[in-house]
Structure 1
Amino acid sequence: MHGEYKVPGGKLVAADLELNEAGDTIAAAVISGDFFLEPAEAIGAVNGALVGVPVATKARDLAALVAEAFGDATLVGFTADAVATAVRRALGHATGWEHHTFEVIHDEPREPHLQMALDEVIARAVGDGERGPTLRIWEWERNAVVIGSFQSLRNEVDAEGARKHDITVTRRVSGGGAMFIQPGNTITYSLYLPASLVDGLSFERSYAFLDDWVIGALRELGIDATYVPLNDIASPAGKIAGAAQKRYASGAVLHHVTMAYDIDADAMLEVLRIGREKLSDKGTKSANKRVDPLRSQTGMAREQIVEAFLAYFAGRYATTQGTVRPHELERASGLVDTKFASEAWIGLVP
């Protein structure tokens, strides 16, 4: 049984396993890869520690066992979590990108509350097995501010500024910070995935793992893009994008990213209450220096960048063209009325 895991920005870890006759425990294990490890003998300790481990061992327990076996060894380019993920993939509990065909949707413009509802509906459809893994590129019908599920409405949004700039305020199901949206100036996408794709990965590591493809796409466009923990994509010129994520009990993962193509920084500062405390750990005194639009770094039209993203994704993974299905749109429209457009939801944290 063979499994592999490529650490984002790091090295490849492979696990080759043999099971006992009953098929319920690991009888032999060999961990290999292009990583660095000192002392080298520590890999033998890990291989030995995996023998006798039940195949049903949970990812976190497997990672803890591997970490204990490594002891004080120095790991470069990989982690104990990466080894655990490779082992889980060998056992068939975890999957890689190559195990899936992704439905790709370049959606039509939709109003903000409906966008939030569609994220919920499509993610649940993946968790319920009604559709496979999906990438959806959004288009926005109007100006919006999208606040995180745990953010205070009054602390994040200046009501007068929102009225002045004709902003629709909505709340998403994931955590993270507020996003200032202007149609044509923003690139937003969502990944709807089975939990097996991030099996064994912490939230922080899964962000890097799921954003790795778009960082590759940005680099092909000439941008020196990097992942910045916990959930940002940036270049030397500034922040490019922010990601957020929600995991559902049904086994689905929703991972969505908003990028600034262009931005009206003055309007953003009038609408969002971006305080000194939030900026104090970012090394800047000005909010409009934190977000550097893609237009200034590429000189490309927004449509060209979106097409480049789609082409890169299709070149890296197996894809098929898709659409939002009529029954999904019907469900989402119902959720707009009962949840996402309601004062109770938007003001969930006053």
Structure 2
Amino acid sequence: MKAHHFEIKVAGGKLVVADVEEDGKVVTSATISGDFFLEPESAYDAINRSLTGASITEDTDSLEARVTRELAGLEGVNLHGFSPRDVAVATRRALLDARDLTDYTWTIIHSPVLPSPVNVALDQYLLGEVRSGARGPLLRFWEWEDRAVVFGSYQSFRNEIDPDGLERHGIVPVRRMSGGGAMFMEGGNCVTYSMYLPEDIVRGLSYAESYAYLDSWVLAGLKSLGVNAWYVPINDITSDGGKIGGAAQKRVPGAVLHHTTMSYDIDADKMAEVLRIGKVKLADKGLRSAKKRVDPLRRQTGVPREQVIDALIASFTSRYPSVTGELSADDIAAGERLVEEKFGTREWTHRVP
């Protein structure tokens, strides 16, 4: 028999703990515990019973269905602070020997001011460092003073970016290694961070679940600034005052890059001259509406960008074991080499013409 253990804290809810034993084929015993509330008492045994006999390869959806079916046979069932889905996630993560964000000591880096292409290139370099085991998980906040459009790995340069706008405003186009959409970035107009983590931290989570899980500390940090924010699947952060930003991921064997950009105070007129997609959105929403949608952090918090970053770092360090670090000269040099070899080349920038 092999034993497995995993704990999850339900967003806005309670702790759910899964202790599971299996024989290499099926779950032989399961005990779900936590500080949740459950009625009637018989429902507790039903949950544990539902998981016993499950194949160790069953996915989260299948495990959730097992729990739901078993509870459906009882009258007056009420789950407070958790759901069958939470039980299934905890069980699946246990069986996969997943790790939690709290199981590692993180290094937090607030980068010096760097050219945007170097910031993009560092994502590939630092992901490789974590993947190889040379470093533990990292959280890095970007700083830059130039003007750039950072766009997704699979976006068409021709369809997404206006070359005349680039030239007019002196903007550098940079294709990143992750998918997702384009972001217009001037110094100080966004808050951008990257997380580099071992794959076992997201093991057993769907893509949508992993995005929300990895950014939960961000929502708490924004709340400390008076912003009621939440996740909209798959990768958007929004609030009572409108969309704040979006995340993207790149997964390689053994490691994950997760990075998020949130709008602080973006020049909507300039953005519309640079991003073709920006023109479509502006035409659809109207310029006045668009301006409201691209300056949420400045408008909703009323504090300087630096204070927003400080609040986010404070939220992260209050939840997860963390130390402060910095980029070395060798790290920056590695990023600069990757710009020369890849991220600054026409071949990479226009790989999807």
TM-score (norm 2): 0.86
Tell me the residue number matched to 1:248. 252
Is 1:67 aligned to residue 70 of structure 2?
A: no
Tell me the residue number matched to 1:312. 315
Instruction: Spell out the pairing of 1:89-104 with structure 2 (5 A cutoff).
Output: 89-90=93-94, 93-104=97-108
CA contact (8 A) 1:107 1:324 kept: yes
For 2:211, what is the secondary structure of its paired residue? helix
Instruction: Spell out the pairing of 1:48-67 with structure 2 (5 A cutoff).
Output: 48-52=49-53, 57-58=56-57, 61-67=58-64
Tell me the residue number matched to 2:241. 237
Query: Against the structure 1 CA distance between its residues 247 and 8, is the aligned structure 2 distance closer, same or farther, given a 3 Å change threshold?
Result: farther
Q: CA deviation at 1:6?
A: 2.2
- CA distance in 2 between partners of 1:333 and 1:295 (Å): 32
Tell me the residue number matched to 2:349. 346
**Paired letter, 2:310:** E
CA contact (8 A) 1:260 1:292 kept: yes
For 1:3, what is the secondary structure of its paired residue? strand
Tell me the residue number matched to 1:31. 32
For 1:177, what is the secondary structure of its paired residue? coil
Q: CA deviation at 1:13?
A: 2.2
Q: CA deviation at 1:126?
A: 0.8
CA contact (8 A) 1:261 1:294 kept: yes
Q: Give a deviation string over 1:25-60, Cα, whole Å, max 9, x none.
A: 643212244668899866645523433557xx45xx
CA contact (8 A) 2:127 2:255 kept: yes
**Gaps in structure 1 of 5+ consecutive residues:** none
**Paired letter, 1:329:** I
* Count of paired positions: 341
CA contact (8 A) 1:284 1:290 kept: no
- CA distance in 1 between partners of 2:277 and 2:294 (Å): 13
Tell me the residue number matched to 1:194. 198
Query: Against the structure 1 CA distance between its residues 284 and 37, is the aligned structure 2 distance closer, same or farther, given a 3 Å change threshold?
Result: farther
1:156 maps to which of 143, 153, 160: 160
For 1:189, what is the secondary structure of its paired residue? strand
Q: Give a deviation string over 1:243-293, Cα, whole Å, max 9, x none.
A: 1111111x111110111111111111111112687689xx94554343233
For 2:277, what is the secondary structure of its paired residue? coil
- CA distance in 2 between partners of 1:160 and 1:36 (Å): 60
CA contact (8 A) 2:19 2:30 kept: yes
**Gaps in structure 2 of 5+ consecutive residues:** none
1:265 maps to which of 265, 268, 275: 268
* More displaced stretch, 329-338 vs 111-120: 329-338
Q: Give a deviation string over 1:69-126, Cα, whole Å, max 9, x none.
A: 1355598865665334423554571111221110000001111221111001111111
Tell me the residue number matched to 2:332. 329
Tell me the residue number matched to 1:206. 210
Query: Against the structure 1 CA distance between its residues 65 and 41, is the aligned structure 2 distance closer, same or farther, given a 3 Å change threshold?
Result: farther
Q: Give a deviation string over 1:124-183, Cα, whole Å, max 9, x none.
A: 111111100110010013011111111111111111111111111101111111101010
CA contact (8 A) 2:173 2:349 kept: yes
